[in-house]
Amino acid sequence: MNITFIGGGNMANAIIGGLLQQGWKPADLRVVEIVPAARDKMAKTFGVTIHAAIDKHAMDTDCIVLAIKPQQMREAATMLAPLLAKQLIVTIAAGIRCAELTRWLGGYQRIVRVMPNTPALVLAGMSGLYAVSGIAESDRKTAEKIMSAVGTTLWFAREEELDAVTALSGSGPAYVFYFIEALQQAARELGLNAEAGRQLAIETFTGAAKLAAQSSEDVATLRARVTSKGGTTEQALKSMEADRVKEAIIRAVKAAAERSRELGDELGRN
């Protein structure tokens, strides 16, 4: 199977790198990228075929991955529409709903929408997928196979659920980095050097996440197990509860989901 990526940014680079590690051949992968420097870099790094524009040669493929900025989608779709010939389209552009993409593509509906996140850059991503009604099971498997090259995948039955996915896992890495930043600052204020604070914060976060992922127990149980009565952890959690940290996090994620809905409305107006 051949895949053409429209856009050669970070996410396209991550997916291509993941596919090659899984045994895909460079000859099966193509990239349309308008920036010369980016084209040269991808050709040297991956050995894939590079195109400077959307044309019939680039679109002679089985699957098209739209890996461009949402603001560029309508223009790209307009150029793409007359070249479509039953290819599967996988879009990873944030906020662009399938209905709008279908409209810009002149009614084309063989579409899977994906919400990935940046840990895909280290092949540890989390991608939420949604398929247009009536799409073939083989197309679902193809989209899943592509995104599995950079991490874990999870299907959703309703497209509107992707707003919550965006807020939780799409934006989620920023929340994690924010918490790590706070731990590092606390380390400095407690007298630890910057490198020690960084290592302690990151390794603790990585280890705790791995423990949660591998445990069959609920995270609340894992948290309680660390929290000895009258101990240091209990004191820290009491402070967080007094500041309503959990409520603030939930409120923040809901705000992100609402903004995702708003952006979808704004991007789809044209």
Looking at the predicted structure, is the pLDDT value of residue 228 above 70?
yes
Contacts of range 133-136, beta carbons closer than 8 Å, 24 or more positions apart: 134/109, 135/109, 135/110, 135/111
Q: Where are the domains of the chain?
A: 3-159, 172-263
Report the CATH fold assignment for 3-159: Rossmann fold (3.40.50)
Residue 270 is predicted with a pLDDT of 65
Q: How many CB atoms lie within 10 A of CB 54?
A: 20
Segment 171-189 shows an average pLDDT of: 98
Looking at the predicted structure, is the pLDDT value of residue 24 above 70?
yes
What is the layout of strands, in order, in the sheet containing 63-66? 49-51, 29-32, 3-6, 63-66, 88-91, 111-115, 125-131, 151-155
When pLDDT is cut at 50, 70 and 90, the band that residue 247 belongs to is: very high
Residues 6+ apart with CB under 8 A from 62: 1, 2, 3, 87, 88
Residue 198 is predicted with a pLDDT of 98
| Secondary structure element (H or E) that encloses residue 65, with its range | strand 63-66
Phi-psi region of 86 (alpha: psi -120 to 50; beta: other; left: phi over 0): left
Angle at 153 between CA 150 and CA 159, to 5 degrees: 125
Looking at the predicted structure, is the pLDDT value of residue 267 above 90?
no
Segment 191-204 shows an average pLDDT of: 98
Looking at the predicted structure, is the pLDDT value of residue 268 above 90?
no
pLDDT tens track for 103-148: 999 999 999 999 999 999 999 999 999 999 999 999 999 999 999 9
Q: Where are the alpha helices (DSSP H) in the chain?
A: 10-21, 36-46, 73-80, 98-104, 137-148, 161-165, 172-189, 194-214, 219-226, 232-242, 245-267
Segment 53-63 shows an average pLDDT of: 94
List the one residue out of 9, 73, 84, 4 whose CA is nearest residue 39: 9
Residue 269 is predicted with a pLDDT of 76
pTM of the full predicted structure?
Answer: 0.92
List the one residue out of 143, 140, 159, 32 whose CA is nearest residue 95: 159
3 state DSSP class of 188: helix
Segment 241-250 shows an average pLDDT of: 98
Segment 63-90 shows an average pLDDT of: 95
Mean pLDDT taken over the chain? 96
Phi, psi dihedral angles at 159 (to 5 degrees): -65, -35
C-alpha torsion 89→54→72→267, nearest 10: -40
Which pair of structure tokens corresponds to residue 12? 């396209």
Report the CATH fold assignment for 172-263: ProC C-terminal domain-like fold (1.10.3730)
